[in-house]
Amino acid sequence: MITQAFILGAGLGTRLRPLTDILPKPLVPLFHKPLAMWAVEACEAVGCDRFAINTHHLPEKWEGFAADRDVRFFHEPVLLETGGGLKNIEGWMEEGSLLVHNGDIFSSMDLRKLVDAHEASGDEVTLALRSGGGEKRISLGEGGRVEDVRSEVKGLPGTHVFTGIYCVKKDFLKRIPAGEVIAVIPAFQELVREGGIGGVVLDEGEWMDLGDVESYLTAHRELALEEPVHSAAVIGEGVTIESSVIGKGAVIGKGASVIDSVVWPGAIVSDGVEHRREVIT
């Protein structure tokens, strides 16, 4: 069983601005939980009970996050990228394997299939893949072997989408140079040359990269994760709410209309105002 997970929380979230001028992208709420909490719960569902999270942008906003869990934060004053961030937690990581989950995506995929395949294979790395829904940069061959990454090892065309979720053995971290700003991709490619990366296709369930405001709003319209109007929201008289999510402690003034929109926790919509396809922060 894999009991440790690394949530990637240090990205800048530039495509989601101006929302990420207020919060780091992994803390942006999806329904009534931060994106990163959905990731934590997905990892808990397969047995993880200790977590590392790296931070960079607006690190003070992480204060109190998952305070009831075993979480250690690794602040990066200089953004270390996906490989450098992973290397930075090497001293924290226990022996065995680690589940790595991008903190700014939402997934309801069955990660048990990923974990089981990784543990059974003996591979250093096992990637969670999709058949579609994004750019195909992983070439998956017979028997679930990854044969190329970004067509840069063997020149093979991509067949599958990398989800940003994967398992690694601790030994894999030795492939990443210490003290460098570096992506994890070169280490993946080195391992591909040795034939040592597995892939599991997880097409069932949702997988969404909420990369911009439009996709963020679309996710709230298409997913049914929680009751859309939080029980602690204050709704005035004569209010119209259609296909919208209203956060905890939000106040919707009398006669206001909120249509195809998301109102963040604690936000205020003034009396009589109409919001349509907007995020009210």
3-class secondary structure per residue, 45-102: CCCCCEEEEEECCCHHHHCCCCCCCEEEEEECCCCCHHHHHHHHCCCCCCCCEEEEEE
Whether residue 24 sits in one domain with residue 92 = yes
Residues spanned by the domain of 231: 227-280
CA distances from 236 to 27, 246, 273 (A): 28, 13, 12
Determine the average pLDDT of the residues in 91-103: 95
Each residue of 154-210: pLDDT tens digit?
Answer: 999 999 999 999 999 999 999 999 989 999 999 999 999 998 899 999 999 999 888
Q: Answer for the pair 207, 133: CB distance below 8 angstroms, yes or no.
A: yes
Is 269 inside a domain boundary?
A: yes
Residues 100 and 64 in one domain: yes
What mean pLDDT do residues 52-75 have? 96
* Whole-number pLDDT of residue 196: 83
Q: Is residue 271 part of a domain?
A: yes
Please say if the pLDDT value at position 276 is more than 80: yes
Nearest alpha-carbon partner for 275 in 32, 252, 265, 266: 252
User: Do 73 and 201 share a domain, yes or no?
Assistant: yes
What is the torsion angle, in degrees rounded to the nearest 10, for the CA atoms of residue 198, residue 9, residue 203 and residue 38?
130
pLDDT value at 271 more than 90: yes
Give the per-residue pLDDT at 259. 96
Residue 267 lies in a domain: yes
pLDDT tens digits for range 204-234: 999 988 878 998 999 998 898 999 999 999 9
Give residue 87's pLDDT: 97
227-240 per-position pLDDT tens digit:
999 999 999 999 99
DSSP secondary structure, 174-195, as one string: GGSPTT----SHHHHHHHHHTT
What is the mean pLDDT of the segment spanning 5-10?
Answer: 96
The average pLDDT across 107-119 equals 95
Q: Are residues 56 and 117 in the same domain?
A: yes
Q: Which of 209, 237, 252 is the last residue of a domain?
A: 209
Q: Cα separation of 223 and 200, whole Å?
A: 24
Mind listing the pLDDT tens digit for each residue in 55-66? 999 999 999 999
Q: Is residue 218 part of a domain?
A: no
The total domain count for the chain is 2
Q: Tell which residue, 162, 165, 159, has the closest CA to residue 111.
A: 165
pLDDT tens by residue, 15-25: 888 999 999 99
